């Protein structure tokens, strides 16, 4: 069977490997060998059995819990009897539930030949078509939130682990506990009724008072000095610099009423881009690596130079074109890094590509911002741009950019709610796993042989700290398909979660089963993937069939 995959095993059970297999193993990672295929086969078989059993349990509980005839029984329609009769025939209610389950399974089995039959809802819509509309809309909502939460959670967790036992670390720990304990429906309702409405009211006259600006600057300063840490002198300087910068930016935003008509423009993009180039190089290659720094800066210069030509191209924008441009940005970053050459081209290429993506994203955001004024002043929006319900403004028509902005304003609240709830666990995970790794002997070795702390942290510790995370991320992606039941309900998002809740409330078993088969299958597959990722990433774990 599979080696059980928990964080503990990495530390305590490196001996689960098969001696014979280790002997035969070449240096390559995942080898397609006979034992591997046998393992895959057994794993798939046992997963199929588990899934089969789970569908049976759910089907039986549903048959027990739901009464599909309730609404008809209560109706006053004169031909009530006939309607009940027809629904019994439609849903095959005279057959005992286990046999109905077997028939339902037969419908799924037809998926093998390419036409699935997951039954019909009470209203006669086919479950497949219901799922077909629900899945994309859920993925749009939950996908962005999950990836943002993973990214943010890892960054905060790593920072907190590197500053273990400081005020920042305790603060992050407390915050994550708090977020852990927040009921998601409460947060979502709060964001919707308090956050969004408050922000929309604020946008009517976006001027911040002096005390607000000073207060926010002090908070920003305190936050930055806690993140940077170090001796008191350094903390003081960080506090002053970051506080003053925040204050100046906020004052400028307030004085120019920037929020009413936000733009970045080439100058701001250049400044932010240079900052990003330095930050990315410092993390990915170290500032000593001049080639990486220069290639990142070259990419920024290229991006700024292309700013005006791109604006005219953006006029004809489509989604495919944006994706193409993003890929082109990565490719040009890689090319620039490669052209700079040097002994370690990979580092320059990586740094330049990441910088290129950042600059590209800034340009994209700038273009989206440019339609903000038109958007928020349009009759459909009427000056209240942050939407609280649905996935798009009904009846709004406009260019690609207006529609993109419309999607963003609808996504922002539910995404924030989801991030707030899920990001705490990623913070805890990444913090714990980095701390675990930092206490390993090979980290001491790396330090002892004189590597700079950046290389120790990024190359030796960070990569290994990601291994346990790599095993929970696929599961979370699988849960994506289940949607966010509560968040979708509150923000009236018509995805998988709403489909489930709606069907359950209207005593409709087949769509619920459809929901479950999607979620269950993706979960089971994700579990198998996790086993393989683990075996591929951690050489101490072997799949022994």
Partner 1 sequence: MTLPNPNPSTAGTVAPDEIDEIEIGNSIENAIELKEVEGLSQGRIVLRRFLRHRGAMTAAFVLIAVVLLVTTSIGWGPIPGWWRWSPTEFDDVVNPGGSPTLSFEGGLTIGPHPFGQDNLGRDVFARVMRGTQQSLIVMVIVGLVATSIGIVMGAVSGFLRGRIDNVLMRFTDMIITIPVIMIGAILGRLVATQGATAVMLGLALSLVTWTSMARLVRAEFLSLREREFVDAARVAGASNSRIMFKHMLPNAVGVIIVNTTLLMASAILLETALSYLGFGIRAPNVSLGTLIAEYQTAFATRPWLFWWPGLFIVLIALCVNFIGDGLRDAFDPRQRRIPSKRSMDRAAERAARRQAAAASATATTEASGA
Query: Which residues sit at the interface with partner 1, rule CB under 8 A?
Result: 4, 6, 46, 49-51, 53-54, 57-58, 61-62, 64-67, 165, 177-178, 180-186, 189-190, 193-194, 197, 479, 482, 485-486, 489, 500-501, 504-505, 512, 515-516, 519-520, 523-524
Q: Report the alpha-carbon distance of residue 247 to residue 263 in Å, rounded.
A: 19
Tell me if 495 sits within 8 A of 138, measured CB to CB: yes
Least distance from partner 1 to the Cβ atom of residue 358, Å: 36
Q: Please check whether residue 119 is in contact with residue 110, taking contact to mean a CB–CB distance below 8 angstroms.
A: no
- How far apart (Å, rounded) are the C-alpha atoms in residues 514 and 167? 48
Q: How far apart are CA 156 and CA 265, in angstroms?
A: 30
Given the complex with partner 1, which of 297 and 418 has the nearer CB atom? 418
User: Cβ(301)–Cβ(307) under 8 Å?
Assistant: no
To partner 1, the closest distance from the beta carbon of 293 in angstroms equals 39
Q: How far is the CB of 3 from partner 1 (least distance, A)?
A: 12
**Considering beta carbons, is residue 454 or 502 the nearer one to partner 1?**
502
Q: What value does the CA radius of gyration of the chain take, rounded to a whole number of Å?
A: 27
Q: Which is nearer to partner 1, 277 or 496 (CB)?
A: 496
Q: Which is nearer to partner 1, 253 or 501 (CB)?
A: 501
Q: Which is nearer to partner 1, 55 or 347 (CB)?
A: 55
Q: How far is the CB of 320 from partner 1 (least distance, A)?
A: 34
Of 254, 68, 142, which Cα lies nearest the Cα of 485? Answer: 142
Nearer to partner 1, 367 or 428 (CB): 428
Distance separating alpha carbons of residues 151 and 88, to the nearest angstrom:
50
Tokens encoding 284: 């990915």
Q: Give min distance, CB of 527 to partner 1, in A.
A: 9
**DSSP 8-state symbol, 126:** B
DSSP string, 324-364: HHHHHHHHHHHHHHHHH--S-HHHHHHHHHHHHHHHHHHHH
State the nearest-atom distance from the C-beta of 185 to partner 1, in Å: 5
For residue 324, give every residue at least 6 positions away whose Cβ sits within 8 Å of its Cβ, in sequence order, or none: none
Kindly tell me which of 220 and 486 has the beta carbon lying closer to partner 1. Answer: 486
Calculate the alpha carbon distances from 242 to 217, 247, 248 in Å. Answer: 8, 8, 10
Q: Whose Cβ is closer to partner 1: residue 189's or residue 216's?
A: 189
| List of residues 6+ apart from 147 with CB closer than 8 A | none
Query: What are the distances in angstroms from CA 248 to CA 225, 265, 273, 362?
Result: 18, 18, 19, 21
Nearer to partner 1, 470 or 501 (CB): 501
Q: How far is the CB of 165 from partner 1 (least distance, A)?
A: 7
The alpha carbon dihedral of 177, 185, 485, 199 has a sign of negative
Q: Give the residue with the Cβ less far from partner 1, 347 or 522.
A: 522
Contact 168, 229 (CB under 8 A): yes
Least distance from C-beta 402 to partner 1, angstroms? 29
Instruction: Using CA atoms of 191, 196, 197, 199 in order, give the dihedral in degrees to the nearest 10.
Output: 130
The minimum distance between CB 174 and partner 1, in angstroms, equals: 8
For the bound state, the minimum distance from the C-beta of residue 376 to partner 1, rounded and expressed in Å, comes to 22
């Amino acid at each position: 069977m599979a080696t059980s995959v928990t964080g503990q095993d990495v530390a305590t059970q490196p001996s689960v490997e098969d001696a014979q297999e280790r002997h035969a193993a070449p240096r390559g990672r995942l080898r397609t060998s006979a034992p591997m295929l046998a393992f895959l086969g057994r794993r798939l078989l046992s997963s199929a059995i588990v899934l089969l059993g789970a569908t049976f349990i759910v089907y039986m509980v549903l048959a027990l819990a739901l009464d599909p005839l309730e609404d008809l029984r209560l109706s006053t329609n004169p031909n009530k009897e006939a309607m009940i009769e027809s629904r019994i025939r439609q849903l095959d209610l005279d057959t005992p539930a286990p046999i109905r389950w077997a028939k339902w399974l037969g419908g799924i089995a037809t998926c093998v030949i390419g036409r699935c039959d997951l039954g019909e809802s009470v209203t006669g819509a086919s479950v497949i078509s219901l799922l077909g509309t629900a899945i994309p809309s859920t993925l749009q909502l939950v996908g962005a939130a999950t990836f943002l939460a993973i990214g943010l959670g890892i960054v905060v967790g790593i920072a907190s682990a590197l500053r273990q036992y400081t005020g920042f670390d305790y603060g992050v720990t407390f915050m994550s506990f708090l977020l852990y304990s927040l009921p998601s429906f409460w947060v979502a309702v709060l964001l919707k009724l308090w956050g969004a409405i408050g922000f929309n009211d604020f946008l009517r006259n976006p001027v911040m008072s002096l005390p607000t600006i000073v207060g926010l600057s002090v908070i920003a300063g305190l936050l930055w000095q806690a993140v940077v840490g170090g001796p008191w002198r350094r903390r003081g300087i960080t506090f002053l610099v970051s506080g003053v910068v925040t204050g100046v930016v906020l004052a400028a935003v307030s004085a120019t009423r920037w929020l009413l008509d936000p733009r970045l423009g080439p100058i701001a993009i250049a400044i932010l881009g240079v900052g990003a180039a330095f930050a990315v190089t410092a993390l990915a290659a170290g500032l000593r690596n001049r080639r990486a720094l220069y290639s990142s800066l070259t990419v920024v210069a290229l991006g700024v130079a292309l700013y005006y030509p791109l604006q005219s191209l953006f006029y004809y924008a489509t989604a495919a074109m944006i994706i193409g441009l993003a890929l082109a940005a990565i490719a040009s970053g890689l090319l620039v890094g490669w052209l700079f050459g040097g002994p370690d081209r990979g580092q320059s290429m990586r740094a330049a590509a990441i910088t290129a993506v950042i600059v590209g994203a800034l340009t994209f955001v700038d273009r989206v911002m440019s339609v903000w004024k038109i958007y928020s002043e349009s009759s459909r929006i009427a000056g209240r741009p942050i939407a609280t319900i649905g996935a798009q403004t009904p009846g709004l028509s406009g260019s690609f950019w207006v529609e993109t902005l419309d999607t963003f304003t609808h996504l922002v609240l539910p995404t924030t709610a989801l991030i707030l709830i899920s990001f705490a666990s990623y913070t805890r995970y990444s913090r714990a796993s980095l701390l675990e790794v930092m206490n390993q002997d090979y980290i001491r070795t790396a330090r002892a042989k004189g590597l700079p702390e950046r290389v120790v942290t990024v190359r030796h510790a960070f990569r290994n700290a990601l291994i346990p995370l790599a095993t929970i991320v696929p599961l979370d992606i699988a849960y994506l398909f289940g949607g966010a039941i509560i968040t979708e309900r509150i923000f009236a998002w018509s995805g998988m979660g709403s489909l489930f809740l709606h069907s359950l409330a209207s005593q409709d078993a087949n769509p619920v089963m459809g929901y479950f088969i999607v979620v269950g299958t993706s979960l089971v597959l994700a579990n198998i993937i996790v086993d393989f990722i683990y075996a591929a990433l951690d050489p101490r774990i072997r799949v022994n069939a």
